[in-house]
Amino acid sequence: MQLAELLKDWPCTVKGGSIRIDVHGIEDYAQEVKEGDLFIVRKGTKDDGLKYVDIAIENGAVGIVIEDEKMLDKLSLTVPIIWVPNCLKFMSYSAAKINRFPAEAMKVIAITGTNGKTTVSHFIGQLLNKLHKKVMVIGTNGVYINGEEVQLSFERLTTLQPKHLHKVFQHGVQQGVQYAVLEASSMGLVKHRLDDCSINIGVFLNIAEDHIEDHGSYEKYKASKQLLATLSDRLVLNGDDSFCRTVGLQSKKPKIYFGLGNRVDYQLQVLAEGISSSTCCLQSKKGQKVFTLPFIGDHHLQNSIAAITTVCELGLDIDEVCAAAETLTLPTGRFQSIKNDLDLSIYIDYAHTEAALRAVLQTLKKTTKRDLIVVFSCGGDRDKHKRIKMGAVASKYADMIYLTTDNPRSEDPEVINSQIAAGFLSTQRYEMILNRGSAIEKAILSAKKGDTILIAGKGHESTQTIGNTQIHFSDIECVHSVLSSISCNKE
Ligand SMILES: CC(=O)N[C@H]1[C@@H](OP(=O)(O)OP(=O)(O)OC[C@H]2O[C@@H](n3ccc(=O)[nH]c3=O)[C@H](O)[C@@H]2O)O[C@H](CO)[C@@H](O)[C@@H]1O[C@H](C)C(=O)N[C@@H](C)C(=O)N[C@H](CCC(=O)O)C(=O)O
Ligand SMILES: Nc1ncnc2c1ncn2[C@@H]1O[C@H](COP(=O)(O)OP(=O)(O)OP(=O)(O)O)[C@@H](O)[C@H]1O
Ligand SMILES: N[C@H](CCC[C@H](N)C(=O)O)C(=O)O
């Protein structure tokens, strides 16, 4: 696409060079610039793109985009310098335009909330798939088309950066994808990553404290989530959550509420609960439907009704949607049960917030036959506020806690764990074993028949980040390897 065409509907000033040049892509990381790219200069939290302009030009950048107007006069370059008012917004717009606005060729559904985004987006994907629609799911666990993972050559984020996202959309369109379901993280929303995605439905799940340090305050974190309402044509909101209610009240967009409580358009009521399934009644303007969901626990039911409502609101048949819901499965590392011969209930879960840990522990408390044992820590360089709260929640439900490591990054895991332990009851039984593999092993070896072990915080993750080093580590693989060494020792 010619630079002139790319810029024609966007406020900008161009200095030097020709606007009749071809632009192939955009890039804000100088070392990744390819021949024909525009290099977008941004000041970040750690660095300033301005330092890397020469590298970008050496790599073949055909234009440099800046947002600091003063630099128009100060910079003297061999390629055009383009001033735009906001580089992050331009990155989204230009990525969409270069890829010919692929999102417009699909129905896009974006999910936000503190907990449950990955789960609900996979549920929506599974329901649409069962109803013979071609669907792409994009989020923390990767990119999937009809349940098949697409291999990516770039960094996986919950909400992809526009330079990647619109390419992924374009790939989907080429594959005949009709629906794209994506997770909208608070960071993704404030960084304008989803500005040009033609979002048909914005889904609001819940809000709880998280990422406070990234955003500066809880109010700012909530405001970032609320941005999704302005980006979406219509809203599907959790009527049981007061923040989601407020978002609905403050938005003039068409809206529908779902929930387990009253005053909602789609209400899910539990008629009977089994060991691992719930017989439910869905009440909506389309009448009453009775079906069985393969889960127990309010958070799983909330996530199920969020997905069912969204798919019904996309115009699919409610009877078929409810029938498909009976076969829903959780994504990898979400309440994942690991079978064993030891009469232990072992679960791997991605709970890494206070609300998530509470939800999963409340569910497990109902089913555990004996003790509830929890193995967890908190991530380093992430919210410190949540540590003491996660400690308090764990201590409320757990009989024994193994404090360990969960991506300590640049922090000392012993310090992280002492901040967690500050929330424990004085009577709490616990032990700190920093090596996560050893902590999991000890939890399994010390457990008695009938106990339940929850290994929380890392879910699907396959790495552990300690300092600047990333090592391979998977809770799922670790549990399997401990279990197989126990059965080998028995033989
Ligand atoms: C907070 C955030 O959005 N950070 C992203 C951001 O970093 P930054 O703005 O601080 O950039 P910086 O490192 O200071 O660098 C400034 C500029 O210099 C450029 N640079 C820098 C160094 C260099 O050698 N060459 C170079 O060109 C950078 O590309 C950038 O344009 O721009 C970087 C480059 O594009 C991203 O890699 C980085 O995301 C990192 C991966 C990240 O971890 N983001 C997390 C916080 C995130 O977005 N998480 C959410 C989930 C959390 C939630 O629920 O909200 C997600 O959606 O995944
Ligand atoms: N509706 C819910 N309410 C409270 N907790 C939940 C809910 N859904 C899931 N959880 C908990 O949150 C964990 C993470 O779930 P999921 O990955 O779906 O959320 P997420 O919002 O995508 O998280 P992240 O953005 O950090 O990846 C689950 O393993 C579970 O412990
Ligand atoms: N979206 C979350 C994931 C946290 C997962 C946990 N294992 C950790 O590393 O803290 C974050 O990036 O803060």
Residues in contact with 33: Cβ distance below 8 Å, sequence separation at least 6, in sequence order: 27, 39, 55, 56, 59, 60, 61
Report the C-alpha gap between 308 and 268 in whole angstroms: 10
Query: Residue 55: which pLDDT band, with cuts at 50, 70 and 90?
Result: very high
* Residue 45 Cβ < 6 Å to ligand 1: yes
| CA 420 to ligand 2 center in whole angstroms | 20
Token pair recorded at residue 275: 């060991």
DSSP assignment string, 50-117: GGGHHHHHHTT-SEEEES-TTHHHH---SS-EEE-S-HHHHHHHHHHHHTT-GGGGSEEEEEE-SS-H
pLDDT tens, position by position, 332-362: 999 999 999 999 999 999 999 999 999 999 9
> Best mutation site among 43, 45, 220 for ligand 1, i.e. most ligand atoms within 8 A of its Cβ?
45
What is residue 16's DSSP assignment? S
Which residues form the pocket of ligand 2, taking CB atoms under 6 Å from any ligand atom?
Answer: 113, 115-119, 140, 158, 183, 185, 205-206, 299, 302-303, 334, 349-351, 355-356, 359-360, 459
| Terminal Cα distance for the chain, rounded | 67
| Range from 55-59, 69-73, 120-124, 316-320 carrying the lowest mean pLDDT | 69-73
Do 184 and 114 form a contact (C-beta atoms < 8 A)? no
User: Rounded to the nearest 5°, which phi and psi values hold at 83?
Assistant: -95, 130
Query: Residue 431: which pLDDT band, with cuts at 50, 70 and 90?
Result: very high
**CA-based nearest residue to 24, from 217, 195, 145, 167:** 167
pLDDT at residue number 75: 85
pLDDT at residue number 93: 98
pLDDT at residue number 463: 97
> Best mutation site among 119, 382, 404 for ligand 3, i.e. most ligand atoms within 8 A of its Cβ?
382
pLDDT at residue number 368: 93
pLDDT tens, position by position, 210-239: 888 888 899 999 999 999 999 999 999 999
Instruction: Give the mean pLDDT of 93-122.
Output: 98
| CA 352 to ligand 3 center in whole angstroms | 7
DSSP assignment string, 137-155: EEETTEEEETTEEEP-SS-
Do 289 and 280 form a contact (C-beta atoms < 8 A)? no
* Residue 458 Cβ < 6 Å to ligand 3: yes
- Identify residue 413 by its one-letter amino acid code: P
Instruction: Give the mean pLDDT of 363-379.
Output: 96
Tell me if 407 is assigned to a ligand binding site.
Answer: yes
Tell me if 119 is assigned to a ligand binding site.
Answer: yes
DSSP three-state, residue 338: strand
pLDDT at residue number 346: 98
* Residue 188 Cβ < 6 Å to ligand 1: yes
Domain annotation for the chain: domains and CATH numbers: 3-93 (3.40.1390.10), 102-325 (3.40.1190.10), 336-490 (3.90.190.20)
What is the SS3 assignment for 194-215?
A: CCCCCEEEEEECCCCCCCHHHH
pLDDT tens, position by position, 269-297: 999 999 899 999 999 999 999 999 999 99
pLDDT at residue number 45: 86
The yes-or-no verdict on residue 197 having pLDDT over 80 is yes
* Residue 267 Cβ < 6 Å to ligand 1: no
Residue nearest ligand 2's atom 5 by CA = 356
pLDDT at residue number 470: 96
80 vs 488, more confident: 80
Complete edge-to-edge strand list for the sheet that includes strand 372-376: 336-338, 345-349, 452-456, 372-376, 400-403, 429-432
DSSP assignment string, 450-476: T-EEEEES-TT--EEEETTEEEE--HH
Tell me if 85 is assigned to a ligand binding site.
Answer: no
Query: Residue 128: which pLDDT band, with cuts at 50, 70 and 90?
Result: very high
What is the SS3 assignment for 273-318?
A: ECCCCEEEEEEECCEEEEEEECCCCHHHHHHHHHHHHHHHHCCCCH
Please state the length of the chain.
491
DSSP three-state, residue 257: strand
Query: Residue 209: which pLDDT band, with cuts at 50, 70 and 90?
Result: confident
Instruction: Give the mean pLDDT of 107-126.
Output: 98
Complete edge-to-edge strand list for the sheet that includes strand 148-150: 148-150, 142-145, 135-139, 179-183, 107-112, 199-204, 232-238, 255-259, 266-273, 278-284, 287-293
> Best mutation site among 352, 405, 473, 476 for ligand 3, i.e. most ligand atoms within 8 A of its Cβ?
352
For residue 409, the ligand 3 atom closest to its alpha carbon is: 9
Tell me if 358 is assigned to a ligand binding site.
Answer: no
The yes-or-no verdict on residue 481 having pLDDT over 80 is yes
pLDDT at residue number 491: 65
Strand partners, 291: 280
Do 64 and 80 form a contact (C-beta atoms < 8 A)? yes
Q: Which ligand is nearest to the CA of 208?
A: 2
| CA 344 to ligand 1 center in whole angstroms | 42
pLDDT at residue number 72: 86
* Residue 117 Cβ < 6 Å to ligand 3: no
**CA-based nearest residue to 147, from 176, 122, 112:** 122
